[in-house]
Amino acid sequence: MSSHDVDTKMRKLPHGGKGCKVITLSNNKGGCGKTTLAIALYLFLLRMGYNCLLIDGDPQSNASQRLGIPETGYRGRRLSDLFTNAKNRKYVKSQMGIARLLHFKYLFRMTEEKVGKGIILPGEHFSGIHAKHAAELMDQSTLLNYFRDCINAYKPYVDFIIIDTAPALEGNHINELAVQVSDILLCPVDGYEAASGIHTVWRWIKKITSPTYLGSLPRPNMFFALVKLQDDMAKAEAKETADPMIRNQVFHCLKSVFGDFVCDTTVKEQVELKRITPMLGRKTNYQDLCEEILEKISNTNKPFFRVATDGNFDKLEELLEPMRKGAREGKDLTIHPVQFVGIKADRSGDVSDVAVPA
Ligand SMILES: Nc1ncnc2c1ncn2[C@@H]1O[C@H](COP(=O)(O)OP(=O)(O)O)[C@@H](O)[C@H]1O
Ligand SMILES: [Mg+2]
């Protein structure tokens, strides 16, 4: 299909609902479920009949790959191209054509309801570098205006724009832009490290939206979702690990500090999800969570940044500290003062030092 065909199809899409919402998945911690939740939410919203655009803001492009877009395919039609064309003002008008219209056969087959149109702007290995280069060429503030124009160009056609992002926020231009154009930030949390990660997200958002940075910018609302929780204690005890208990404590800590901003629906760890991630046509725990997220997004007017304080995050850190300590003591992570070249894990997960051969 030529770019022109896609462009025409995009323009024929029924208009998105009143007020398209931009949702970014974010956490400073890697591997905590951002991409899985991004895809789950995207597919859920499509099933509900909404038109959605998924932007893969992670140079690792996991979301694109899991949705069947190979790493090297569709050259010229990826997020990178948005940044390499940033100096070309005419590009905003023509960039509509670069996103891919996806046809989810399984979704169509498995549901009687009207399915929304799924569009994707795939990720690319160099997207971060291209974004950084564009920011240097035209300054971050002009790039933000350009990126916002691009996002606004999509808005009339979709009800939701979902942006998946890379971890490690500091200095990441794509993540910055995503947050600066977002209405909602969704932070998946899979344990105490990811719970601490949201403290970093909070400080970082305050910085990149502050008047002294690029001028005062609106801050997105924030919600937290607990994913990958193991709650089968018997199984956990058999495996002699305190980890699942710790993870459930994380839920209670977050809930006690941030109340309604924390989703009540938690997602259990499901072994099969480790293997098949696209979850096309499958009902998983993520479905119920997505229902709750949609409700929260639609009904919560209370903005997180007006309510939350540094004191809340201090309290959270205080509650998480015993877990960190417990985890340190539970696992023998003592590093002996020997010269070593690396660590070797055997199949039971025990870690041992590897000494440099004499
Ligand atoms: N509920 C779950 N049960 C088991 N594995 C999961 C679950 N949710 C996500 N995963 C797996 O955890 C890993 C990390 O998730 P991912 O969404 O890629 O995290 P991130 O995008 O934050 O790096 C992936 O291999 C994914 O398949
Ligand atoms: Mg990811």
Question: In Å, how far are 28, 236, 246, 298, 351 from 21, measured between CA atoms?
Answer: 22, 40, 34, 10, 45
Q: Is residue 317 in a domain?
A: yes
Identify whether 263 is part of a domain.
Answer: yes
Q: Who contacts 319 (Cβ-Cβ below 8 Å, separation ≥6)?
A: 253, 256, 257
Element (H, E) at 188: strand 184-189
Please name which ligand lies nearest the alpha carbon of 61: 2
Sign of CA dihedral 307, 161, 153, 57: positive
- Cα(35) to centroid of ligand 2, in Å? 4
Q: Do the domain assignments include residue 284? A: yes
How far, in Å, is the centroid of ligand 2 from the Cα of 217?
26
Range of the domain at 258: 3-331
DSSP H helices, 48-113, are 62-66, 79-84, 91-94, 105-110
Could you tell me how far CA 23 lies from the centroid of its own chain? 9
For residue 260, count other CB atoms closer than 10 A to its CB. 13
Residue 27 CA to ligand 2 center (angstroms) comes to: 10
The answer to whether position 344 is within a domain reads no
Q: How far is the CA of 89 from the centre of ligand 1 (A)?
A: 38
- What span, in angstroms and rounded, lies between the C-alpha atoms of 144 and 213? 12
Closest CA to 20 of 183, 221, 177, 218: 183
pLDDT at 89: 73
Q: Atom 27 of ligand 1 has which residue's CA nearest to it?
A: 274
Position 332 scores a pLDDT of 46
Q: Measure the CA–CA gap between 226 and 185, rounded to whole angstroms.
A: 14
For the chain, report the end-to-end CA distance as a whole number of angstroms.
Answer: 61
Question: Ligand 1 in contact with 86 (CB < 6 A)?
Answer: no
Cα dihedral 182→217→172→181 (10° resolution):
20
Q: Which residues surround ligand 2, an ion (CB under 5 A)?
A: 34-35, 62
Ligand sitting nearest the alpha carbon of 190:
1
CA distance 185 to 163: 10
Query: If you measure from the C-alpha of residue 308 to the centroid of ligand 2, how many angstroms do you get, rounded to a whole number?
Result: 26
Residues in the chain: 358
Which of 66, 228, 283 has the most ligand 1 atoms within 8 A of CB, as the residue to mutate? 228
What pTM value is reported for the model? 0.85
- Under 8 Å between Cβ of 51 and 161: no
- Pair of tokens at residue 126: 């160099």
pLDDT for residue 174: 97
161 lies in some domain: yes
Question: Residue 33 C-alpha to ligand 1 middle, in angstroms?
Answer: 4
What residues have CB less than 8 Å from 271, skipping those under 6 apart?
none
Total number of domains constituting the chain: 1
Residue 22: inside a domain, yes or no?
Answer: yes
277 lines ligand 1 (CB under 6 A): yes
Written as six digits, the tokens of 2 are 């030529």
**Residue 227 in contact with ligand 1 by CB distance below 6 A:** yes
Cα 30 to averaged position of ligand 2 atoms, centre (Å): 7
Structure tokens at 160: 């939701």
Q: Is the CB of 177 under 6 A from ligand 1?
A: no
Distance 200 CA to ligand 2 centre (A): 17
pLDDT averaged over 10-residue windows placed end to end, the chain, 358 residues: 46 59 96 94 89 95 89 83 86 69 66 79 94 94 93 90 95 96 96 93 96 95 91 52 64 93 89 57 76 92 92 94 76 43 48 44
Cβ of 235 closer than 6 Å to ligand 1, yes or no, is: no
Residue whose CA lies nearest to ligand 1 atom number 23: 31
Rounded to an integer, what distance in angstroms lies between the CA atom of residue 38 and that of residue 240?
A: 32
Query: Within the chain, how many helices (H) and strands (E) appear?
Result: 16, 9
pLDDT at residue 333 in the model: 43
Residue of 273, 276, 287 best suited for mutating to test ligand 1, as the one with most atoms within 8 Å of CB: 273
Residues 116 and 72 sit within 8 Å (Cβ to Cβ):
no
Query: Cβ–Cβ contacts within 10 Å for residue 7, how many?
Result: 17
Q: What DSSP string runs through 231-281? A: --HHHHHHTT--HHHHHHHHHHHHHHHHGGGB-S--PBP-HHHHH--S-TT
Q: Assign 22 to helix, strand or coil.
A: strand
- CATH of residue 252's domain is 3.40.50.300
Task: Give the number of the ligand closest to the Cα of residue 191.
Answer: 1
Domain contains 203? yes
- Give the number of other Cβ atoms within 10 Å of residue 66's Cβ: 18
Q: Is the CB of 273 under 6 A from ligand 1?
A: yes
Instruction: Please provide residue 180's backbone torsions phi and psi, each rounded to the nearest 5 degrees.
Output: -70, -20
Query: Is residue 352 assigned to a domain?
Result: no
Strand partners, 119: 53, 101
